[in-house]
Chain A
Amino acid sequence: RKEVEQDPGPFNVPEGATVAFNCTYSNSASQSFFWYRQDCRKEPKLLMSVYSSGNEDGRFTAQLNRASQYISLLIRDSKLSDSATYLCVVPSGGYQKVTFGIGTKLQVIP
């Protein structure tokens, strides 16, 4: 199993829809995670961190399912501006480094 796995998509959703992506990880000892957002031909930027209790920021909710070893990102009321690639980031190597997933591409269509 890869350290971090994401469905590359693309996920094409209409404006206003709710969409969710999952990210599976292999290191059962990992305890905190990140979601980064990367716009086309731009650098990644932190979207939100995910701890055991999950995290919510406006329309975005991140959850951790430790038993099944995956994290999820839920986007409600999708906007055109949400179109981007969402990278899952998982600690590795004894928490000192991070492993980036390949990203899930989201395209919100009018």
Chain B
Amino acid sequence: NAGVTQTPKFQVLKTGQSMTLQCAQDMNHNSMYWYRQDPGMGLRLIYYSASEGTTDKGEVPNGYNVSRLNKREFSLRLESAAPSQTSVYFCASSEKFGGASYEQYFGPGTRLTVT
């Protein structure tokens, strides 16, 4: 039982390049999330998918797109990377959607640097 896995673990991009961060969970969870974590800012929600087939914007969606490929997989795409997107990205999942009720399980993170 791997839990939540993310690839890649590290990535360096040049400004303007694109990339997709992959996330998969094997816990049969309905809801999945993408966060970024910056020093002094805490975790901020980029996008979430309350259930398979739905996606919604979070607090900081600009510059990102997501795809809920199936129940297991939720990817995050940077179409044209900018230095402001340098951050640590975490994918998370929860049994159901409802922040007050359901524990979120996090992947190990992707450390992205945009030069």
Query: A residues within 8 Å of B by Cβ?
Result: 4, 8, 30-32, 34, 42-46, 49, 87, 89, 91-93, 95-103
Number of cross-chain contacts by CB at 8 Å: 52
Interface SS of B by simple majority? loop
9 residue pairs of the A-B complex, CB under 8 angstroms, read: A43-B90, A44-B43, A44-B90, A46-B104, A91-B99, A91-B100, A102-B40, A102-B41, A103-B42
State the interface size on chain B (CB cutoff 8 A). 21
Q: Are the C-beta atoms of A97 and B48 separated by less than 8 Å?
A: yes
- Find A43's partner among B98, B101, B108 (CB 8 Å cutoff): B108
B99 touches A98 (CB 8 A): yes
CA distance A13 to B87 in the complex (A): 30
Establish whether residues B40 and A8, one from each chain, have CB atoms under 8 Å apart when the complex forms. Answer: yes
Q: Which of B42, B100, B101, B104 contacts A102 (CB under 8 A)? A: B42
